[in-house]
Structure 1
Amino acid sequence: MSNERGKDLSPDQGYFSSSPTGGGSHQSSTPSRYESQKRRDWNTFCQYMKNQRPPVPLPHCNSNHVLDFLRYLDQFGKTKVHLQGCIFYGQPEPPAPCTCPLRQAWGSLDALIGRLRAAYEENGGSPEMNPFATGAIRVFLREVKECQSKARGIPYKKKKKKPDQQTGGSESSSSGGSFSFS
């Protein structure tokens, strides 16, 4: 610890704190579910960085560390992702079990990155240096999404905004997510 580098604070010294304060606006009330999850995700990421050999100080974290963290999390996934050689590859509901791995679902990873991106900045990180907001992370998430959609036979198509959607919907949604406000 040299005096020249006195501005590089450890996570326990406030900068990149592992427990966000929230700026004082929510201190007296119970944090929302989102805020609680964001805090848990941030603490998990901070612990992951501390456990690296050698430990990586958060100000030195980059998108490669984030990608390694996302790959590490795959071992705790619950979504079956069929490998290309699997006979069930491309089938959304296979008729029998297989030995393909369980992975983190794309949607879970996407939401996680959103929470970590916000937590990084709330804990003193610069938006310009946010490792969760880089192009490499966006590319990784897009590739996971495409890979999982092919493996599970679920087409992910970008939804286009249609100006005539407010007509009452002559087309029915297969997701069952239509709402009526009448």
Structure 2
Amino acid sequence: MTYLLTDCHFARFDSVYFQGSQLNIDTRKIEDRLSLLDKKTDQSNSAKRKRSLTASLADFLSNLPTPLTLCSCSPEDIRKFLVWKDEFGKTKIHTASCPYIGSSDSRINCACPLRLAAGTVEGVINLLCRIFEDHGFGRFWDSMTMQGNPVCSPIVKEYLTRIREEQAKANVLPKQAKPIFMSKLRSIARYIDMQLARSDITSRERYVLLRDQAWFKLQFFAGDRAGDLSFLLSQQVRSLSDGSGLTVTHTFGKTLRGNRGKVNEFVVPKCADTLICPVNGLNTYVASSKAMGVNLTLGYMFRIVSDSGVVLDQQVSYSVVYERMRHYLTVLGIYDGETPHSFRAGCAVSLNVAGCSSADIMDHVGWFGSESAEYYSRRKLMRSSTVAKRLARAVDFSNEVEDFYNSHADYASLPHAFFEHV
């Protein structure tokens, strides 16, 4: 079969004739592949958030005194929706006279209102912008014709600015996970060992305890995200040739989506304290699971278990890890609002105190921006503490400091080098 392509851009080639070949195209296979990819897109967290927010906005608009739709709403309607969403916030906006100003605990009993955090408001606005863009409204709002994407209107951007300023004046600080340090990790590990030694323990309980202790130890010493760790495959864990530890390679996670070849690689060394040693914890987990008839050499490293005690080849979720961690800390009487992210924070702070640079912390934990390393390791505050102590010691030679400034640093009062002042 011969195709004549003189009416399209391909006509610029030397020959306008392309001899087609007889191809065996399996359209069913192509459609099945596309269907699978579309299904994964629909089931992604991003798609679920979009659907949820779209439904929420549609419900809000339809319940206004003058019912509206996504196609008829204005920037002012978007602002009203954001104010309505504010009612479900959990961030206390303390007044200047409130004794709890600076506290992020929403459980504090004061009359100050609860609002959405500024970062959350920004996230809602960005997601709304993408929703309208997906519906063909683009990324621009024309105030003259009142057409385009209403979320891109200047008054919506100004709304976010006002929210940020309001919360800055109220001394609202970005929420940070409360770090879990080695003392609590030891307490959890010791408690799990006691439970494993019980004579009446079931096989299901034994597997869960073994999995949990290995997870907590690995997450602390790796500084990994809980969500990323849930995707870890056994094949991605290798032993160092000298037997001093393990190396782990992540290729998928929150910030690892196959773009630009990003990977997160880190080493997990053995440590002298066998109670919390991550290598010892993983080896115990794999070996004990094998003795129970569970093969962990292939597939997900950390798996869920059914009510009947069957270990499934499905990764454990963040919510499961969160509930297990909270359970242990609550039973031990040491729960203080920590989340699985607390292990990551504890790792970053420990690395900082150990003298690691921001670049070293970034490489180990898997951050691609120095801001994250500075933020989670509390490096700025710790440096400030060191500098402040030196300033306090300067009291002992305060006169010398002033004399040195006058003779070396007060530029305006220093004499000219080559001519006299007239």
- Which bin holds the TM-score, normalised by the shorter protein? 0.5 to 0.7
Map of 2:57 onto structure 1? 45
Where in structure 1 do 4 or more consecutive aligned residues deviate above 3 Å?
165-169
Q: May I ask how many residue pairs the two structures share in their alignment?
A: 143
**Deviation of residue 81 (structure 1)?**
1.0
Residue from 55, 58, 75 that aligns with 2:67: 55
The aligned amino acid for 2:129 is: R
Three-state SS of the structure 2 residue aligned to 1:127 is: coil
Three-state SS of the structure 2 residue aligned to 1:46 is: helix
**How big is each residue's C-alpha offset from its partner over 1:62-93, in whole Å with a ceiling of 9 and x where there is no partner?**
1110110011111111111112342333x245
Cα distance in 2 for residues equivalent to 1:25 and 1:133 = 34
Three-state SS of the structure 1 residue aligned to 2:170 is: helix
Alpha-carbon contact 2:74-2:150 (below 8 Å) kept: yes
The root-mean-square deviation of aligned C-alpha atoms, in Å, is 3.0
**Deviation of residue 111 (structure 1)?**
0.6
Cα distance in 2 for residues equivalent to 1:62 and 1:25 = 37
The aligned amino acid for 1:176 is: S
Alpha-carbon contact 2:94-2:113 (below 8 Å) kept: yes
**Deviation of residue 124 (structure 1)?**
2.6
Cα distance in 2 for residues equivalent to 1:153 and 1:126 = 34
Map of 2:230 onto structure 1? none
**Cα 1:97–1:166 shift into 2, 3 Å:** closer
**Deviation of residue 147 (structure 1)?**
1.2
Q: TM-score normalized by structure 2?
A: 0.30
Alpha-carbon contact 2:104-2:173 (below 8 Å) kept: no
Map of 1:27 onto structure 2? 38
Residue from 365, 374, 377 that aligns with 1:173: 374
Q: TM-score normalized by structure 1?
A: 0.66
**Cα 1:31–1:153 shift into 2, 3 Å:** closer
The aligned amino acid for 1:142 is: T
Map of 2:76 onto structure 1? 64
Cα distance in 2 for residues equivalent to 1:167 and 1:78 = 34
**Cα 1:167–1:48 shift into 2, 3 Å:** closer
Moved more, 25-34 or 139-148: 25-34
The aligned amino acid for 1:175 is: Y
Map of 1:112 onto structure 2? 124
Q: Tell me, yes or no, if structure 1 residue 139 matches structure 2 residue 150.
A: no
**Cα 1:174–1:167 shift into 2, 3 Å:** closer
Three-state SS of the structure 1 residue aligned to 2:137 is: coil
The aligned amino acid for 1:133 is: C
**Deviation of residue 32 (structure 1)?**
1.4
Map of 2:100 onto structure 1? 88
Three-state SS of the structure 2 residue aligned to 1:87 is: coil
Alpha-carbon contact 2:91-2:104 (below 8 Å) kept: no
Alpha-carbon contact 2:93-2:172 (below 8 Å) kept: no
Higher percent of residues as strand: 2
Higher percent of residues as helix: 2
Alpha-carbon contact 2:90-2:114 (below 8 Å) kept: yes
Q: Tell me, yes or no, if structure 1 residue 154 matches structure 2 residue 173.
A: yes
Structure number with larger C-alpha Rg: 2
Cα distance in 2 for residues equivalent to 1:45 and 1:117 = 12
**Deviation of residue 60 (structure 1)?**
2.2
Q: Tell me, yes or no, if structure 1 residue 124 matches structure 2 residue 124.
A: no
**Deviation of residue 145 (structure 1)?**
1.2
Q: Tell me, yes or no, if structure 1 residue 74 matches structure 2 residue 93.
A: no
Map of 2:227 onto structure 1? none
